[in-house]
Amino acid sequence: MEDLKYEEIPEIRKKLDHIGVATESQNRLPVFQATKKAREGIRTFEGRYGKVTVEGRIGQEHKNLLETILWKKELHDYIHTNQLVGGKIKVKYLKVLYDREKIRKCMTQGKGKYSKERYKILLDDMMRTILTLNIRGEEVRGPLIIDLYDSPVKKPIKTRSPVIPKETHLTTIVLGSVITTLIENELKFAYNPKPIMALSSGVSQALVRFLATHQNHPVAGYHLKQLVKNLDCPTEGGEWYDIKRALKRDIEQLEAIGIVINFERERVFVVKNILENLV
């Protein structure tokens, strides 16, 4: 993948397998905190979909960036390394090639392009985050991202300016064994993360991602508190009222996506196909 010319990418991309932007466990387990202001620390959550321990700081803004990279990627491939863990084993990592300026443009909300500083902070956070995931009795542990660097592959830039370079390096990101394993083994979902990013609160974003992984929804609706518990959020006292206020701010956008919340009854109804509305 590193020896390619940019012009060769479209033809190669046609032959690649589908990897989506998220998997069941990535969205059903609170791997990424249900907030835009993730806190540093170690947190563990165990529920009906498995168990996850996160060492670091990753929230919905980090999830927005990771999904955007996978949504707008140029190419992907896998690399194998030999590791000694009680004997020699092969470990597989997903490598993704992308245009960082295209990613920042897609991440932009309102006026002005998404800042380079914020982009770098989010990637730094993800590179030092360690995940331990236990699903169906199998445990996987490792960094969220193991490498990030400028690729030798250069993309031509159309410009008449003598100051702006005529080409720019694409970026290579190598995802750790946890995310790679999930992408290889789980049901994958492909959707445009832009409508989710437009939601004002992290809890709204996490709720959409959780519900988007389910095909069948109860006619009588979900219990709001139980859904929020699945997101590893508080459901009592002042914090519970703060969560409901955050959801109310996004009520119209949630309904456009296909999610209706009755706050009096504290019920959540999925009235449209969520994935079909994330375009």
Q: What digits encode the pLDDT tens for the residues 171-195? A: 999 999 999 999 999 999 999 999 9
Q: What is the mean pLDDT of the chain?
A: 93
Query: What integer pLDDT is reported at residue 68 of this predicted model?
Result: 98
Check residues 22 and 137 and name the one with the higher pLDDT.
22
Q: What is the mean pLDDT of residues 50-63?
A: 98
pLDDT at 262 over 70: yes
Q: What is the mean pLDDT of residues 139-165?
A: 85
Integer Cα distance of 62 and 40 in angstroms: 13
Angle (nearest 5°) at CA 224 between 218 and 228: 115
268, β-bridge pairs: 222, 261
Query: What integer pLDDT is reported at residue 1 of this predicted model?
Result: 72
Integer Cα distance of 108 and 154 in angstroms: 23
pTM of the model: 0.94
- The pair of structure tokens assigned to 269 is 């109804």
Integer Cα distance of 241 and 259 in angstroms: 19
Dump strand ranges (E) for 67-224: 75-84, 88-98, 130-135, 138-143, 145-156, 167-175, 188-189, 222-223
Phi, psi of 259 (to 5 degrees): -115, 120
Query: What integer pLDDT is reported at residue 200 of this predicted model?
Result: 96
> 243: which residues sit within 8 A by CB, 6+ positions away?
203, 228, 233, 234, 235
Integer Cα distance of 88 and 57 in angstroms: 31
Residue for token digits 């914090």? 239
pLDDT at 72 over 80: yes
94, β-bridge pairs: 78, 175
The radius of gyration of the chain from alpha carbons, rounded to an integer in Å, stands at 20
Integer Cα distance of 220 and 260 in angstroms: 12
pLDDT at 140 over 70: yes
pLDDT grade for 153, boundaries at 50, 70 and 90 = very high
How many beta carbons lie within 10 A of that of residue 86, not counting itself?
Answer: 5
Query: What integer pLDDT is reported at residue 110 of this predicted model?
Result: 76
Residue 50 · residue 182 · CB < 8 Å: no
**pLDDT by residue (tens digit) across 9-19?**
999 998 999 99
pLDDT at 143 over 90: yes
- The pair of structure tokens assigned to 123 is 């990637």
CB-side exposure of 159: number of CA atoms within 13 Å? 11
Distance of CA 152 to the CA centre of its chain: 26
